[in-house]
Chain A
């Protein structure tokens, strides 16, 4: 790789060329420049992400109801009260949170699995050139490019009970159901949400895997072909193992995005999601903004963050170790 001298290009300026004071400012600039360049990004991340997160953690220990919104510092401390309410699974609040959490876990596993599977399959099938490939690729990226609300509103229309496409096809045309089903309320809403989520999410996997495939050296395939490996074997022996590092990041990103997804269920169901599709983000939003109980909402958010941190840490540890042993 590159040497240290190459990493610090400024050092190459002829040392004697500058007079003493200029050299000092040059030195300050050299040491300070990277920090100066990072400063805007750092400040904004602090303002919008890190400071609010710290405040959120503080809030979770307060009894922050609508009476204290104007001056939240004066809200009384409640110790672990908000957490006790959140994880008391015998009481309604905790029970609902646990149900929402488990629903989200199930939903996320299915959605990420399907997005990954469909995206990878499509990317691999479209590796060779064939007629219409460019058009198909553009078409496949449309769901990803559409703004969430526009795409999801279309699905809301399709899932309508009386005038929607889904019931028209399943009931009127194929006669698969005795009666038109409800898709946006009741148990079916879980599958409706899953369908929309996969429709919207798989092109991202497709895009990333497609980019990853371009980094696999052609020689590997040629060598395998000379050894008599068929297409299926090449996919199993070369393509999929080569995609491992890409998949490691892709699956994690898909997992975090899906688990935290608010936009899709919010546009699909509105402010209160049906129980079967009560994803955690909307659940916490509901608990905070509809009941104006920010303290409990924050405690739930912190629990969610801790869970995601634990999963991410375990995942990275597990996949990195797996990769190291695989490498030999």
Chain B
């Protein structure tokens, strides 16, 4: 698996055999550990029902795409899918825009309360979700009762909640990224008569695209995968995939092949997006958060 390039004899850089063998064994075992559940997910999603209700089989007795057809009718998967797409998409866009503004302020300006702001925002990462779930639930219900704006049970409430989940990490990462964009660039724009916002949009944002993409991927994944708030704050019409997927196992029969097919279908958008953009994520992390 991990065959290294032939080490040069007598070169001081050539890794010893002990290193190469440790690496080979370690990476092979790790690959197995990572791959087995992925294999189970993919292979089971193509199995007939009898294969997944009886004793486990590594190889399907026959391949079928029925599970992929049935998943849409067993539970209203398409509706959940749209809900998740709307919620995660909106939360991502809002979160990225807000994070860009906040990070620009912190990166380019000196102002009172700057340290308090960054520390406060980052420390929200520490709060157990369970601590503010109950009050937020009450706040949303009460705002609804008082103003008629339905936050509880609506997609809007969920969008609002999710975008703040990714915000702290996004701001933190973008501050680091913006810091690495030379100040001379936006200063030149300012001297040329651009306003600060124009300088941000024309100069800083284009130079920070990898960081912004990384932050967007992170925000989308956060919203797409969240379970706790989705389970409390959605109803039948606004249910997202995180909760909706559990619908396959509350019925009398557990359609494991359909569950696996549905899991795969809901994973494909994020996994594909993530793998396509992971290069940006590593670059973004290197320049921003990790520096």
The 10 closest A-B pairs by CB, nearest first: A301-B131, A52-B135, A145-B274, A52-B132, A37-B105, A211-B285, A150-B263, A168-B56, A55-B135, A34-B105
**Smallest CB-CB separation from B285: which chain A residue?**
A211
State which of B60-68, B70-78, B161-169 sits at the interface with chain A: B161-169
When distances are taken between beta carbons in the complex, the residues of chain B under 8 Å from A139 are: 31, 34-35
Are A33's CB and B105's CB within 8 A? yes
Stretch in contact with the other chain, from A89-97, A181-189, A223-231: A223-231
> Helix, strand, loop or mixed for chain B's interface?
helix
B242 close to A145 (CB less than 8 A): no
A158 touches which one: B40, B117, B242 (CB < 8 A)? B40
Cα(A138)–Cα(B52), bound, Å: 29
Number of interface residues of B (CB under 8 A): 106
Report whether over half of chain A's contact residues are helix, strand or loop; otherwise say mixed. Answer: helix
B227 touches A263 (CB 8 A): yes
Which of B37, B102, B196, B259 contacts A151, CB < 8 Å?
Answer: B37
Q: Which residue of A is nearest B102, CB measured?
A: A41
Contact flag A215-B286 (CB < 8 Å), given A49-B164, A140-B30, A149-B241? yes
| The one of A126, A141, A157, A294 that contacts B134, using a Cβ cutoff of 8 Å | A294
Docked Cα-Cα span, A125 to B15, in Å, equals 11
| 6 more CB-based (< 8 A) A-B contacts, given A168-B56, A211-B290, A288-B134 | A38-B101, A128-B5, A132-B2, A260-B128, A301-B130, A304-B128
User: Can you name the residue of chain A whose Cβ is closest to the Cβ of B172?
Assistant: A249
B110: chain A residues at CB < 8 Å are 4, 7-8
Pick the contact of A122: B19, B30, B226 (CB < 8 A).
Answer: B30
The proximity string for A residues 199-219 relative to B, scoring 1 for CB distances below 8 Å and 0 otherwise, is 100000001101110110000
Give 24 pairs: A residue, B residue, CB < 8 Å, sorted on A: A33-B109, A37-B105, A41-B99, A41-B102, A44-B98, A48-B136, A49-B127, A52-B132, A122-B26, A122-B30, A128-B4, A130-B3, A131-B5, A138-B278, A140-B30, A157-B256, A157-B260, A199-B34, A199-B37, A211-B282, A215-B286, A232-B18, A304-B131, A309-B126
Known: A267-B227, A289-B232. A142 touches B108 (CB 8 A): no
User: Are the C-beta atoms of B124 and A45 separated by less than 8 Å?
Assistant: yes
Which residue in chain A gives the minimum CB-CB distance to B84? A147
Q: Which residue of B lies closest to A243 (CB)?
A: B290
Q: A281–B132 contact, CB under 8 A? A: no
A residues touching B (Cβ–Cβ < 8 Å)?
2, 4, 6-10, 12-13, 31, 33-35, 37-38, 40-42, 44-45, 47-53, 55-56, 59, 69, 72, 118, 121-122, 125-126, 128-133, 136-151, 153-155, 157-158, 160, 162-165, 167-168, 172, 199, 207-208, 210-212, 214-215, 225-226, 228, 230-232, 246, 249, 253, 256, 259-260, 262-263, 266-267, 280-281, 284-285, 288-289, 294, 297-298, 301-302, 304-305, 308-309, 312
Check if A130 sits within 8 Å of B5, measured CB to CB.
Answer: yes
Q: Is the CB of A155 within 8 A of B37?
A: yes
Are B225 and A148 neighbours in the complex by a CB distance under 8 Å?
Answer: yes
**Structural contact, B275 and A141, CB atoms closer than 8 A:** yes
Is B183 touching A231 in the complex (CB atoms < 8 A)? no
Q: With a CB–CB cut-off of 8 A, which chain B residues contact A309?
A: 126
Instruction: Give chain A residues whose Cβ lies under 8 Å from the Cβ of B12.
Output: 225-226, 228
B22 CB contacts on chain A under 8 angstroms: 125
Does chain A have a CB within 8 A of B9?
A: no
Please measure, in the bound complex, the distance between the C-alpha atom of A131 and the C-alpha atom of B27, giving whole angstroms. Answer: 13
Q: State A148–B289 Cα separation when bound (angstroms).
A: 23
